[in-house]
Amino acid sequence: MKKLRNIWLVLLAVFTMCGFAACSEGAPQKTGASGTAIALGHGSCVTEVTVIVDGYGNPVKVQFDDIFPASNVYGNMALKKENDGVPTVVINEKTTQFRYLRIGARYFECDASGKYYEMGNAANKLADDLMTYYKTEEGTQWYYDSFVANALYICAESEDGVQVGEVKLADQYKFNTANGSMRKRYSRYWSTLGSGSIGQITGLGFNGNMDMLENYLLANGFEAIDDIVLPGKEGNTTGYNVIGGVTTGATLDADTGIYLKTAKVAYEKALAAQKDLL
């Protein structure tokens, strides 16, 4: 009887352990999370980086992109061909821009100098012109939020300071510009593909360089990103960026630091979001 009792105690212990661990197979898995950060980047573009981490805080995906600035909206005469009713303004007899714009909930009109000022009598009306405001931290965030919400418009006319006859631009991935998209990842900007009209570009191009930086961060983490040695600097003869002694394979120059520092902020946001899920 004592031997049988011992067997039952062993079985009870096994079942208890399985209950706590859900027999390993049914144990709940930690949930991953993501974080996105932006900054004013190369050529007044909005640099956007998203980092995804697993349930243990390890980065599993890094995605870089650039969004062309507001000036690419009002200076895009390719749209004029499709919207003949939209008025334009000629600046200094050489530059043509749209007269009226709406970005997010704000309305703008172009003056004789080519700058855009907010219209209407709202109490929070911008004192700065569009591009001056856009280059502030608050303005960059506002433009980015408007962009991802597909809230970019050119407008046909004005009535009492509010534009009517709005023409909503194409979505954030398909935008009729010389580059084909407002997102560099989806455009022909610095493309290795080229075309008969754009021309063949050699080298990694934008996407190839972004891929190299993404791969570096996934393999080596974010700790050494302040230790960037650009090609031709400090004895770097590799022809590529070197970070923390590791050759990245990317050929980007001065803007490399902007991409990497923005990525670190995105990573920190992802970690914070992941901890909130625990």
What CA–CA distance (Å, rounded) separates 108 from 182? 20
pTM: 0.81
**Positive or negative CA dihedral for 190, 195, 201, 203?**
positive
Instruction: Report the chain's C-alpha Rg in angstroms.
Output: 26
Give the neighbor-by-neighbor strand order of the sheet with 33-40: 33-40, 46-53, 59-67
Closest CA to 101 of 145, 138, 131: 131
pLDDT of residue 20: 42
What are the structural domains, with CATH classification, of the chain? 33-68+199-276 (3.90.1010), 71-177 (no CATH)
What tokens were used for 23? 């027999």
Which parts of the chain have pLDDT scores under 70?
A: 1-29, 78-84, 121-122, 158-165, 168-178, 192-203
- Give the three-state DSSP class for 66: strand
Q: Using CB atoms within 10 A of its CB, is residue 69 exposed (0-12), middle (13-18) or buried (19+)?
A: buried
pLDDT of residue 28: 46
Closest CA to 68 of 215, 168, 172, 220: 172
What CA–CA distance (Å, rounded) separates 65 from 184? 6
Tracing tokens 């570009």 back to the chain, one arrives at: 201
Closest CA to 88 of 174, 159, 78, 132: 78
Find the distance separating the first CA and the last CA of the chain, reported in whole Å.
47
pLDDT of residue 29: 58
What CA–CA distance (Å, rounded) separates 222 from 143? 28
What tokens were used for 92? 């200094």
Neighbours of 218 (CB within 10 A): 14
pLDDT of residue 196: 43
Q: 201, 191 in Cβ contact below 8 A?
A: yes
**Positive or negative CA dihedral for 123, 129, 131, 132?**
negative
Beta-carbon contacts of residue 142 (< 8 Å; ≥ 6 apart): 103, 104, 133, 134
What tokens were used for 72? 């690419």
What CA–CA distance (Å, rounded) separates 103 from 20? 55
What CA–CA distance (Å, rounded) separates 150 from 104? 8
What CA–CA distance (Å, rounded) separates 229 from 246? 10
